[in-house]
Amino acid sequence: MTILVIAEHTNSALAAATLNTVAAAAKIGGDIHVLVAGANAGAAAEAAAKIAGVAKVLVADDAAFAHQLPENVAPLVAELGKGYSHILAAATSNGKNILPRVAAALDVDQISEIIAVESADTFKRPIYAGNAIATVQSSAAVKVITVRATGFDPVAAEGGSAAVEAVGGAADAGKSAFVGEELAKSDRPELTAAKIVVSGGRGMQNGDNFKHLYALADKLGAAVGASRAAVDAGFVPNDMQVGQTGKIVAPQLYIAVGISGAIQHLAGMKDSKVIVAINKDEEAPIFQVADYGLVADLFEAVPELEKLV
Amino acid sequence: MKVLVAVKRVVDYNVKVRVKADSSGVDLANVKMSMNPFCEIAVEEAVRLKEKGVASEIVVVTIGPATAQEQLRTALALGADRAILVESADELNSLAVAKLLKAVVDKEQPQLVIMGKQAIDSDNNQTGQMLGALTGFGQGTFASKVEVAGDKVNVTREIDGGLQTVALSLPAIVTTDLRLNEPRYASLPNIMKAKKKPLETVTPSDLGVSTASTVKTLKVEAPATRSAGIKVKSVAELVEKLKNEAKVI
């Protein structure tokens, strides 16, 4: 049994989610190969070769793979993936974009966002926004799976010494072109990788008030998130959204500020180790999942918290 | 330009679902059903393209039980011109749905296919991408902006770090994210008019598609519950607990 893991990377660096995906592959068992499809992706490939437990790194380096366009990357993965028992990718926006296209090209079903491996063919995954957990079994010749990073502790980024092999393959399918991107720039840690997350909801009242959360986050070395209500109200951009349709996070400490705790939001953060809720409404559902609840006006409590930590 | 919109009948998003006692699935008896929220956004986007004069005809399709006609009628009331029900009482996986949609695409020859990025029941987020592989069309998934220009469509996508824009050759597939638009409500006169719009019913075997699956659900359980902790009285007490009890700061 050999498993192909599709690396999540930026060409110049490997993304942390790759380590969680390799962890899921290790739970399934068997040899693990990692595919780095990119352009000038030597640095990402070198990093992949150092991951503990990886036997081989395949590098497909072509301008057509620079922006992970699925029309170009999926045929490559499908062609390379034929000989493998499993193809795994992180359930990131890239993984979700590319892998179903691979599965259909191979004429197999895909299993999305697994949170646990029961055996080599049986997996657990959340459905209905995490309100139910399904155990599913696949009889497909190649099992195509996306992995929810929070379900698996990452493997060590160092310690391996895999062989690196160049592979060719399909290139530009001519269906799509990259036009541009606007990436949020921040010195704070990335939401899904942060040990501490401070999130704000509708109770923040406006975008400017998020400065209180940024100040607290900077003191704690935390990332800043938001509920869908805060994003929809235009307080902050969508890439900060934590919830079923946003980012799924599971930090050591999650501080929910002015968030009522809609099911949609809870689905994105309820696996956090410790949850703190600050809300002036003591009936807010967020208190039902919080380890420590503080019923208080957030505009008094957050600055005080910032001073005391 | 013809636009095909695919929609799904799902449990209404306001319903708190419960797992059946025998772990065979989620209890759907006497539960309110609606159009999947992401599919409503897909219908709205198609209607806006028609209002701008970009789309000439909107065909809405669903794959589901006979009762899914309700969701097709809703789409017709919102502005779709005609509807196709691919009737199947079985719960189908995304690949089977994508194959059925491929057969409909072959027949209808749309220039643009718009659908939701995922259904809020199975949460798969697969069908649009799979249809992309089967048709060979380009895909603009998780769209927050769609602009048709000549023989191309520019799609701005919500990605992990922000936004990405891609240009796709038509025909193409777009899957919708939450911020693409805000769907309208159907007016009463339009709901009445929708009853007279054409609705065709076909079966998977009419389309020559096998819906066999390689994945089976062994059981469905309620998630582990998290019990409420304690209420602290002050910020100072909170900091003390986080430092000394939880040891997370």
What ipTM describes this predicted complex?
A: 0.94
CA distances from B144 to A117, B40, B176, B211 (A): 34, 14, 7, 32
Position with higher pLDDT, B162 vs B75: B75
Nearest by CB: B223 against A93, A133, A178: A133
pLDDT at residue B128 above 80?
yes
- The average pLDDT across A9-14 equals 96
Residues of A in contact with B125 (CB under 8 A): 96, 100, 112
Q: Is B192 exposed, middle or buried (0-12, 13-18, 19+ CB in 10 A)?
A: exposed
Element holding A177 (H helix, E strand): strand A176-183
The confidence band for B93, taking pLDDT boundaries of 50, 70 and 90, is: very high
pLDDT at B160: 86
- The average pLDDT across B162-188 equals 96
pLDDT at residue A169 above 80?
no
Position with higher pLDDT, A267 vs B47: B47
CB pairs under 8 A between A and B: 247
Mean pLDDT over all residues of chain A? 95
Residues of B in contact with A276 (CB under 8 A): 238, 242
State what percent of residues in chain B have pLDDT above 70.
100
Nearest 5°: phi and psi at A308?
-85, -20
Mean pLDDT over all residues of chain B? 96
Interface of A with B in 131-190 (CB under 8 A): 131-140, 174-184
- Over residues A203-214, the pLDDT tens digits come to 999 999 999 999
CA distances from B62 to A297, B58, B92 (A): 48, 13, 12
Element holding A257 (H helix, E strand): strand A253-257
Three-class SS state of A12: coil
Position with higher pLDDT, A138 vs B226: A138
Rounded Cα distance, B123 and B26, in Å: 14
pLDDT at residue A245 above 80?
no
Which residue matches tokens 């987020």?
B125
Nearest 5°: phi and psi at B140?
-115, 95
Which residue matches tokens 């609705």?
B199
Q: Does a cis peptide bond (omega within 30 degrees of 0) precede residue B171?
A: yes
CA-atom Rg of chain B in angstroms: 21
Q: Answer yes or no: do B130 and A132 touch at CB < 8 A.
A: no
Task: Give B93→chain A minimum CA distance, Å.
Answer: 7
pLDDT at B174: 98
CA atoms within a 13 Å half-sphere pointing along the CA-CB vector of B39: 27
**pTM for this one?**
0.93
Interface of B with A in 30-89 (CB under 8 A): none
Task: Give B47→chain A minimum CA distance, Å.
Answer: 22
- The average pLDDT across B167-180 equals 96
Q: Which of A110, A281, A300 to mutate to test the interface with B (most CBs of B within 10 A)?
A: A110
Asked if B230 has any chain A CB less than 8 Å from its own CB, the reply is: yes
Nearest chain B residue to A272 by CA: give it: B226
Asked if B170 has any chain A CB less than 8 Å from its own CB, the reply is: no
Rounded Cα distance, A296 and A302, in Å: 9
Torsion angle, alpha carbons of B89, B93, B94, B100, to 10 = -50
State what percent of residues in chain A have pLDDT above 70.
100
Q: Answer yes or no: do B133 and A100 touch at CB < 8 A.
A: yes
A139, A49 Cβ separation under 8 angstroms: no
pLDDT at residue A89 above 90?
yes
The confidence band for A111, taking pLDDT boundaries of 50, 70 and 90, is: very high
Residues of A in contact with B215 (CB under 8 A): 109, 111, 136-140
pLDDT at residue A184 above 90?
no
pLDDT at A274: 97
Q: Answer yes or no: do A134 and B11 touch at CB < 8 A.
A: no
pLDDT at A263: 85
Cβ neighbours around B164 below 10 Å, total: 25
Residues of A in contact with B216 (CB under 8 A): 136-137, 139
Task: Give B92→chain A minimum CA distance, Å.
Answer: 11
- Over residues A44-86, the pLDDT tens digits come to 999 999 999 999 999 999 999 999 999 999 999 999 999 999 9
Nearest chain A residue to B94 by CA: give it: A109
pLDDT at A47: 97
Q: Answer yes or no: do A98 and B129 touch at CB < 8 A.
A: yes
pLDDT at residue A170 above 80?
no
